[in-house]
Structures are given as structure tokens and as C-alpha cells.
Amino acid sequence: MKRTVALASFLASGFLALGLSACNGSASPSTPNVSFTPLPFLVPGSTAHYAGTFSEVVTYASPSAKQPNSTGVYKTADVETVSAAPSSAPAPFDVHRRITYTVTTVPSSGIQLQQRVIDSFESSTVTATSQTIAQASVTTKTSGIDQTANRVEGNGPYKYSNDSTTTYATPRILFVFPFVAGSTNVPLARTVTDVQRSANGAGEVYSDRNTTSKYEDSGAFSETGSIASDETTRVKANANGTAVVANSGTSLFRETISLPIEQDGAFHIPVDRVVNGVSTSYMAADWYPGNAAPPSPLASTAETVKGPSSVPPRCGVSGHTAGVEEVDSSSTTVDVVSGSYTTGRTQTFVSDGSIVCRITYSKVEAHSVETGLPVSTTTDTFAEGLTAQSAGRNESHRP
């Protein structure tokens, strides 16, 4: 199956997959005087199979029996198909991925992944000189076992589910073909709806969230929704790194995070909390990159076309090694509300119009909002290689 690169960013609970691509989307099937030959991406009925590995390592600053370090290792099988999207969809094509995880080392913390189903809605626009692949939205359904809940509550298994939908403010440009070496900043404005639940067979709920977040290109965001069966939240995180969190329900909670100030020769982050009318102030250690003001922007993603390359052995790809080109991405995110700093990178290798290998890496450094001290580091690594593919209709367009 002919595809463009899928950008993937792994987080502590898994990854958000972006973009799988093809041709003849919004462009007319017959464009006169076209000198550029479109690549046969987004061909309905085409299928690709990938095999790979995924690992997640959680390391705590102060591990204990109740909070042990954790390593989860999996073999993955990824089946991707392209179909015409329903008329009500935000783009002409649905790139469907079903990733199954076979655990080889069971994690003791976090989510033991079982399956992730991704639907990426994409389009292609062809001109006389180029082909532009864009992604309008992506939905992800994740299932697994909540090992943290199992350990804390002791009456599992707690089944975990997460349904999320990301809709971009303007369709995200994934690729412009032919490749031209260089880097491009990726706009980040989007709306994310996220529904998470962890419960055991007796109906006992460990976690239950249903939120909507709106992100700006700067990394600023607002969030509203429920974070428990009887608790709602309203978050406003500003572009300059200040933030306000207000929760209501069984208790009233309000937190204000201010800009770092210098005190005794070091920077600290003022954090003020009011819980049921009782106020507490903290001077948290400055955990931001550079140990001063938060970065501007708070979040950024850059995509870089590196050009000719070779497929790394870890991908396990025996064929499709001619004419390989590499496209990388890198990202950073500072979330002052959760106290986390996330870095990520991807490498994608394309040969003859097919994605033959994907490698992704992310690291989430979590800190206590009150003290600024490190809490944990979560590192995710994923690599997969193409094992088989079949063409759909329009095979005459294959090179």
C-alpha cells in the first residue's frame, strides 16, 4: 500500500498517531497539463502490514513497594487499510489502523496496552508541480489493563479504555511531494475530546474522565469537563506559562500558577491553592527547561525532510530498500498545569512511495506542581517495519 509518513508521538499512556496519506483526494481524478505525477497514496482497498516492538519504562524519583519502577515490553502487529470516508467525514479518505500488543514483559505501573484503533481522515491536493497531503482529524480508541489501579486497589483486573478525537483548526499539512530537504514548523491549534475510564468487573471505578481541550499554536490551552463522577474541572493555561485550575464537586479547589521569581539566587514558581476555603502558598523549585521562565512557545513541533537514507536494521525490513528517503520530526511540550515536560522524535523511512519503517521515541518528565521536584520519568520507544502490502483499485497508478 502506498502511503505517506505517519507521525507518531508516544506519551505515557501510548501514542497519538498522525497522518497516513495518499492521492486523488480533493484533487480532480483527471487534472489537465499536470507535469507532476501523483504518488498512489490513499488508494481505497489497499492494505499494509507491519510488525514491531513497543516498550515503556517508568522510573520514579523515589520508588517504593507502593510505587515501583516499571518496564513494559510488547510485540506489535499493525494492519492499515485505506477506504473512502463517509460523506459526513471531515476528509475524503479514512486511513484505518488496528494495532495489537502482545505483552512479553508485564508492566507494574501505567497501562498494559492491548489494542489501539486509529482512524485518520485525510485528503490529497494535486497541482501541476506538487501533491499536498493533509489531515483533518484523527480518532483513537485504546484498550488495556490499568496496572496502577490493580496495584493500588488490589481487586482487579481494572480494564482501561480511552476514546479521543483530535480535530485541527485547519487541516494539518503532513507532506508536500516531491520531498524538498529542509525543516517546517507544524501548527498545533486543535480541539481534543478525551474520554477515559478504568473500572473492574464489579463496577468499581478507579478513574473516569470526560474532557474537551482547545490548544493554540503557542501551547496555551483551555480544558473543561468532568474528572470524576462527581467532579468537574475548568483549566486555563496561558501562553506565558501562568495558569488557573478550578475544580468543583465534593470539594472546591482552585490553583493559580504564576511566573517564576528569583529568590535566594534561584528561580521559584509561586503556586497558590485554595481548598474548601483554606489557602496554601508554595514556592516550587523551577523545573522549566533552563530553570528560568517557561519557554516561548510552550509547545513546538518541527518536521524535517532529511532526504536519501537507509532503513535501520531494527526495523527488520528485508525488501523496499531502494531509493529510501527519511523524514523526521521533533517536538517539545511544557504543561505547567500537570508539571510535565515532554520531548519526542520520530523517524520515518519511505521507499518507492511506501512507508517501510517508523521509529518513535518520547520522554515525559513529571514534577510535583507544589514542590517542583521530579516525580517520575516515562520513556516510550516504538519501531515497526513493513512486512507485506497489497494494492487496492487504481493499481495502474502504481509506479
Position 206 scores a pLDDT of: 96
Residue 171: the pLDDT is 95
- Number of H helices and E strands in the chain, helices first, is 1, 23
On the CB side of 376, CA atoms within 13 Å amount to 17
Strands 261-263 and 253-257 come out as: unpaired
In this predicted structure, what is the pLDDT of residue 133?
A: 84
Give the pLDDT band (50/70/90) at residue 291. Answer: confident
Taking residues 31-39, what's their average pLDDT? 66
Q: Percent of the chain having pLDDT more than 70?
A: 89
Cell of 77: 502487529
pLDDT higher than threshold 50 for residue 398: no
State the chain's mean pLDDT as an integer: 88
Calpha distance 326→201 (Å, rounded): 46
Integer Cα distance of 84 and 70 in angstroms = 41
Domain ranges of the chain: 7-186+299-397
pLDDT grade, residue 1 (50/70/90)?
A: very low
Pairing of strands 7-11, 14-18: antiparallel
Report the residue count for the chain.
399
**Structure-block grid coordinates of residue 64:** 517504593
| Residue 397 identity | H
Q: Kindly report, residue by residue over 337-383, the tens digit of the pLDDT.
A: 999 999 999 999 988 778 899 999 999 999 999 999 999 999 999 99
pLDDT in tens, 85-141: 999 999 999 999 999 999 999 999 999 999 999 999 999 889 999 988 899 999 999
> Alpha-carbon distance 168 to 192, whole Å?
9
Residue 79 is inside which H or E element, if any?
strand 70-84
Look at residue 275 and tell me whether its pLDDT is greater than 80: yes
Does residue 17 carry a pLDDT above 70?
no
Distance CA(395)–CA(283), nearest Å, equals: 63
List, for residues 347-357, the tens digit of each pLDDT value.
Answer: 999 887 788 99
pTM: 0.88
What integer pLDDT is reported at residue 173 of this predicted model?
87
